Structure 1
Amino acid sequence: MKILVITGSAHKKGTSSYLADSFIRGAEEAGHEVFRFDAAFKNVHPCVGCDSCQKGSRACVFKDDMQELNPELLKADAVVFVSPIYYYDINAQIKAVIDRFYANNSALKGADKKAVLMITYGDETEESAEGAAASYKGMVKYLEWKDAGIVSAKACYVLDDILDSEYPKQAYELGKNL
């Protein structure tokens, strides 16, 4: 299986990055091919809704790192979104990437793909994650992809918080059993 992991954190040794690493380790041990796209370290221009991608050449007007991501997105059997929650939803880096899915909408909608959401946040209640989960579930439903699972790591503000939690094992197992 080809798996695309899209991360959003600018913290290379942060909580969501650690979850991504755990997931990838499990997936690779199971024999899956993984491509990781760290959106916070890429040049991804936000979609401006100009509709150029839907007309004529059907190409996006922005020539940025989405050109690296798009082929991986189209051939992936599973797409994994890994984001910290800073303020009640996935972070802006992931959202910019998702908005740019629009250029490939006709190829993505109804494609036989699985999706996973992994989120980390400092709050001790799941209320802070409800926006991210709702956005993810709505997108998966619209795209007609199969929801393969959510790892919602609450009370994980800094790396030490997640190291001894059950969340890395959940991510690892999800990657191994996808």
Structure 2
Amino acid sequence: MSKNILVLSGSPRKGGNSDLLCDEFARGAAEAGNTVEKVFFREKKIGYCTACYYCRDHAGVCAIKDDMSKILEQMHGADCIVLASPVYFYSIDAQMKTVIDRTLAQWTKLKDKEFYYIMTCADEDKAAMDVTLECFRGFAVCLGGSREKGVVYGTGTYEAGSVKTKKAMQEAYEMGKGV
């Protein structure tokens, strides 16, 4: 059965390591017959949540008029959501955090999603990604019926493109193919 997959790339670098892993995941998923959309946050205008709670009083419509409303639509339409971020100071990057925070407008309506997580870091030790993974999991657990389906650890990746020589490239492709 074909699924709608939304890949959310938090990489601040076009062609950065986590972004390249997103592309491999998407390639595998598309080859398996799924519909895949990728959102590269750097190309979008996404403001910070101001906790004004306009959304609470306006049926989930955010007071901030930017690209986040389209991203929320895409999230609603997705069966699977891929969250990808480089590790910044043992956590997710600002771009990913901003998007997660902006789901406040409709988080109670984002239900029954399968989640895949992609992370990259310069450190060779997967433990350096523990907090980043918990950030992803913390978000997903807030969404009713969410299910974690897989994690890609792109360790030992610092320079843009260095992930190309790592086993994480094949893992991302295979994970996408197995959706």
Using the size of structure 1 for normalisation, the TM-score is: 0.94
**Residue equivalent to 1:113:** 113
Aligned equivalents of 1:31 and 1:80: distance in 2? 17
- State the Cα deviation string for residues 4-26 of structure 1 (Å, max 9, x = none): 11111121121111101100100
**Residue equivalent to 1:24:** 26
User: Is 1:36–2:38 an aligned residue pair?
Assistant: yes
**Residue equivalent to 1:96:** 98
Deviation at 1:138, TM superposition (A): 2.0
Report SS of the residue matched to 1:83: strand
**Structure 2 gaps, min length 5:** none
Give the length in aligned residue pairs. 176
User: Is 1:135–2:118 an aligned residue pair?
Assistant: no
**Partners of 1:10 and 1:41 within 8 A in 2:** no
Deviation at 1:40, TM superposition (A): 1.8
**Residue equivalent to 1:173:** 174
1:56 pairs, out of 45, 58, 66, with 58
**Residue equivalent to 1:124:** 124
Deviation at 1:70, TM superposition (A): 1.6
**Partners of 1:5 and 1:81 within 8 A in 2:** yes
Report SS of the residue matched to 2:128: helix
Report SS of the residue matched to 1:147: strand
Amino acid at match of 1:68: K
**Residue equivalent to 2:72:** 70
**Residue equivalent to 2:159:** 158
Aligned equivalents of 2:52 and 2:72: distance in 1? 18
- State the Cα deviation string for residues 98-134 of structure 1 (Å, max 9, x = none): 11111112211xx221001101010122232111111
Deviation at 1:142, TM superposition (A): 2.2
**Structure 1 gaps, min length 5:** none
Moved over 4 A (4+): none
Q: Please provide the CA RMSD for this pair.
A: 1.3
Aligned equivalents of 1:68 and 1:28: distance in 2? 22
**Partners of 2:20 and 2:161 within 8 A in 1:** no
Aligned equivalents of 1:115 and 1:89: distance in 2? 18
Deviation at 1:171, TM superposition (A): 0.3
Aligned equivalents of 1:167 and 1:135: distance in 2? 20
1:46 pairs, out of 26, 45, 48, with 48
User: Is 1:83–2:60 an aligned residue pair?
Assistant: no
Aligned equivalents of 1:139 and 1:32: distance in 2? 24
Report SS of the residue matched to 2:106: helix
Matched-pair identity in %: 34
**Partners of 2:5 and 2:36 within 8 A in 1:** yes
Aligned equivalents of 2:84 and 2:59: distance in 1? 32
Using the size of structure 2 for normalisation, the TM-score is: 0.93
Report SS of the residue matched to 1:86: coil
Deviates more, 1:53-62 or 1:68-77: 53-62
- State the Cα deviation string for residues 22-76 of structure 1 (Å, max 9, x = none): 0010000011111111112211001111111011353100000112212111110
Amino acid at match of 1:122: A
